[in-house]
Structures are given as structure tokens and as C-alpha cells.
Amino acid sequence: MMSKFIQTKFPRSTQNDLNKVNVMGILNVTPDSFSDGGQFSCFDSALKQVEKMIDNGVDIIDIGGESTRPGAAEVSVQDEIVRVIPLLKAIKSRFDINVSIDTSKSEVMSEAIIYGADMINDVRALQNKGCLEVVAQSNIDVCLMHMQGMPRTMQEQPQYNDIIDDILGFFTQRIHCCEQAGITKKRLVLDPGFGFGKTLAHNYEVLAQFAQFKSLGLPVLAGISRKSMIGSLLNREVHERLAGSLAAAIVAIQQGANIIRVHDVQESVDAINILKAVAQYKI
Ligand code: 9MG
């Protein structure tokens, strides 16, 4: 059976098609989230935020119940389920919108699948115990993100031979594992993982070479919004990173990003609409 996500909105094209760029809106339901500070940890305000994102043109809502920022506290399976699953159920019963669940825990994935999630967004690329098996038994899509090390220590001294080759090698290996487990390629999305075990220079090299990740023939996601690669370069606090985030998203889209993961949906949709307007007149 084809997944709902693929049938409705999801772009499978490997070519740059601005009309198929999807905006993934971030909904962190963690008390310690790095950029929204747990603002949406209360159920009702989370639902209001979802409604606002939908009004502003979001394509996918990404719900996360465990912060992945460096040094963030770990969350138990039960706590993560309690944070994420009631919200998933409420969103699915009230709105017609794709929902992705940002998790690396097989138990959370399993619940998310039962309650109608359209995608699993796994910063550990299904490497944790049981994850490949749970996803293989469903028809859900998966975003496989690259990360060097683990969130607690990943920014200590990231090192690569050739960062683009290393990430491509990682993707190739994870795609192979997924296929072996029974998860077909058409369910996969790749993400080079900005800020996950990468120095400032690494992040800008990945952004400059973003088009290379399209060579594997799968959709590619870029998650740059409000990250320290924006803040450190521009010397801006988290709440001052909108302009930098939009500029970086545009650079990724111009190199074929199919999904951009953002905090600021309205502004991101506006930026994409400018690109579309310009594209009409390109020869
Ligand atoms: C959960 N999360 C935080 N940053 C992310 C990124 O860049 N990509 C994906 N897929 N998930 C992320």
C-alpha cells in the first residue's frame, strides 16, 4: 500500500521544482527546546500554533518531544509518548495536515504509526534498536538524518575526511539497511543534519554543496532554521536569526531541497513565493 503522505503532497522529483517544495513547521513540545524555549509545551497553545502554521501554508507539522540540542536532557519513552501522542491524535482529528514525529525511539514510532503519523523524522536514521523493524511493518515515510556522534557530545570535535563524501557514504549505508529490512526507497527522505556533529565551517560546506545530496535520487530535507550556524556567523541571538535562516533556506532550495524544516512558516512561504515568481521569467 502506498503511504498517504506520498499520495497527497510529497514530492518525489529529483529535479528542482519550486512548486513541490514542502514547508515543515517545527512544533517542539519539550520544556527545554533551544529556540522556542518550551513555548508550546502546553497542549492548547500547541494546537493554536498548529492552526496558525496551517493558515500560513505549512505542508507538514514536525512534532518533537525530546530536544536534540547539544547537552539536552534525555527523556524516557513514557514521557515522550505522553508529550507527543495526544497531540498527534488531536491534530489528526481536527486538521487535514501531514504530521511527522521527530523521534529515535521505536516505542514512540510504533505509537505514532498507530495514531496516523505520516512520517518519522529520525535524527539517528533508524539506527536505534527496533526502529528498522517497526518502520518496516508500516507504510510510513522516514527522514534519515546524518549526525556524527550523539547529541550530548557531538559538537566537541567533529572531524571528517571529506564531509560530503562521508555523509553520502552514510546515506548509502542507511538506504541499504532500510531496503534490507523491507523499507523501500520511495519511503525515504535524506537530511545532511545541519549542526549535528559539524563545525561552523562544515555546516557552510554542506550548504554550499547541498546539491550533491540529490545524487542518490531521493528527496532531501534542509533544517537550518535559527541554528547556531546562523547565530555564530552573524552574532545573533536565537530570536534574531530570521533573516539569516531565510537566506540559508533559499540557498538550499535553489540547490534542490524538497523540504525545509522551519520555525517561521509564514516568512518561509513568502520567501518561496518570491523564488516562484522569479522562476516564471527564467529562460
Ligand atoms: C529534530 N531536528 C532538529 N534539527 C533537525 C534537522 O536539521 N533535520 C531533521 N530532520 N530533524 C531535526
The model's confidence at residue 19, banded by pLDDT at 50, 70 and 90, is confident
The mean per-residue pLDDT over the stretch 143-153 comes to 87
Distance (angstroms) between ligand 1 centre and the Cα of 123 equals 6
In this structure, is residue 11 part of a structural domain?
no
Mean of all residue pLDDT scores within the chain: 91
Question: Considering the domain boundaries, does residue 149 fall inside one?
Answer: yes
Please state the domain count of the chain.
1
Q: Give the pLDDT of residue 39.
A: 54
How far apart (Å, rounded) are the C-alpha atoms in residues 248 and 244?
A: 6
Minimal-distance CA residue to ligand 1 atom 8? 223
Q: Is the pLDDT of residue 6 over 50?
A: no
**Does residue 10 lie within any of the structural domains?**
no
Q: Is 94 a catalytic residue?
A: no
Confirm whether 9 is domain-assigned.
Answer: no
C-alpha cell recorded at residue 179? 531496503
Given this model, what pLDDT does residue 15 score?
Answer: 59
Say if residue 242's pLDDT is above 50: yes
138 CA → ligand 1 middle, Å: 22
User: For residue 234, what are the domain limits?
Assistant: 18-279
CATH of the domain at 255: 3.20.20.20
**Quick one: pLDDT at residue 249?**
98
Residue 143 CB coordination number (10 Å) = 26
For residue 149, how far is its CA from the centre of ligand 1 (angstroms)?
A: 15
Percent of the chain with pLDDT over 90: 80
Q: Tell whether 6 is covered by a domain.
A: no
**Ligand 1 site: residues with CB under 6 angstroms?**
64, 68, 102, 121, 123, 143, 145, 191, 193-194, 221, 223, 261
Average pLDDT over residues 12-24: 77
- pLDDT over 80 at 156, yes or no: no
Q: If you ran DSSP here, which 8-state letter would residue 212 be given?
A: G
Residue 4 catalytic?
no
Chain segment 211-220, per-residue pLDDT in tens = 999 999 999 9
